[in-house]
């Protein structure tokens, strides 16, 4: 039986005010294709925000596009928070032809980690002492970010993934202070 195979990809980005979504669906030429809708429920929200796109879209969505930010959209874009987003993409008939995902946004955590790595005085040879220990912890925290995403996106345990993300953010903030970096974008 001919049918559409709907699929989305939500890559991790470092841009805090953009939510990038890519339509990776395989569409059948034998079935009508109408009414593409992407519904996004941000963390802490109970209602979803709907945007409509043509099939094959690659979109950089802002909070203005969702209608969450309603002022200064032509001059400033607010940041999307990190956390669990529920995405539902559908085509007609939208009640039965859809795909739904949990996505863990970790942009703030990734930026915090990169800022920490920038401010460390890492030598161009094997690090020693405190730098070596900090780099080991950053490596562990990076692996924990991957574990948090896996818990949310594959294991369907959003609360557990969110708790891991909160721990990683706390540790990164502490490491940033210990390293004397100041807390950039905390």
10-residue averages of pLDDT along the chain (186 residues):
91 96 95 92 92 92 93 95 97 93 97 88 72 90 98 97 97 82 54
CA angle, 170 then 10 then 112, to 5°: 25
Q: Return d(Cα 159, Cα 53) in angstroms, integer.
A: 30
Q: Return d(Cα 123, Cα 76) in angstroms, integer.
A: 38
Q: Are 120 and 134 in contact (CB under 8 A)?
A: yes
* DSSP sequence for the chain: ----B--EE----S-TT-EEEEE--B--TTS-----EEEEE-TT-SS-EEEE--TT-EEEE-HHHHTS--SSTTT--PPPPSEEEEEEEE-SSTTTSEEEEEEEE-HHHHHHHHHHHHHS---SS---HHHHHHHHHHHHHHHHHHHHHHHHHTS--HHHHHHHHHHHHHHHHHHHHHTT---TT-
The confidence score (pLDDT) of residue 64 equals 94
Which tokens sit at 27? 């569409």
Of residues 65, 82, 64, 81, the one with CA closest to residue 73: 64
The confidence score (pLDDT) of residue 124 equals 74
The confidence score (pLDDT) of residue 119 equals 82
Instruction: Please state at what angle helix 158-178 crosses helix 129-153, rounded to 10 degrees.
Output: 160
Which tokens sit at 22? 């890519």
The confidence score (pLDDT) of residue 129 equals 73
Q: How many CB atoms lie within 10 A of CB 36?
A: 21
């Amino acid at each position: 039986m001919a049918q559409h195979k709907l699929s989305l990809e939500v890559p991790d980005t470092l841009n805090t005010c953009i939510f990038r979504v890519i339509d990776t669906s395989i569409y059948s030429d034998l079935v009508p294709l109408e009414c593409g809708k992407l519904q996004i429920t941000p963390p802490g929200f109970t209602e979803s925000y709907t945007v409509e796109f043509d099939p094959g879209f690659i979109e950089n969505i802002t909070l203005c596009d969702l209608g969450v930010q309603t002022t200064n959209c032509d001059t400033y874009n607010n940041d999307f928070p990190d956390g669990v987003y529920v995405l539902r993409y559908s085509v007609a008939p939208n009640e039965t032809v859809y795909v739904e995902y949990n996505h863990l946004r970790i942009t703030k955590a990734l930026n915090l980690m990169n800022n920490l790595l920038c401010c460390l005085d890492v030598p161009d040879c094997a690090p020693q002492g405190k730098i070596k220990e900090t780099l080991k912890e950053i490596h562990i925290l990076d692996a924990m970010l991957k574990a948090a995403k896996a818990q949310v996106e594959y294991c369907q345990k959003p609360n557990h993934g969110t708790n891991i993300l909160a721990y990683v953010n706390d540790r990164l903030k502490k490491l940033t202070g210990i390293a004397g970096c100041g807390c950039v974008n905390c």
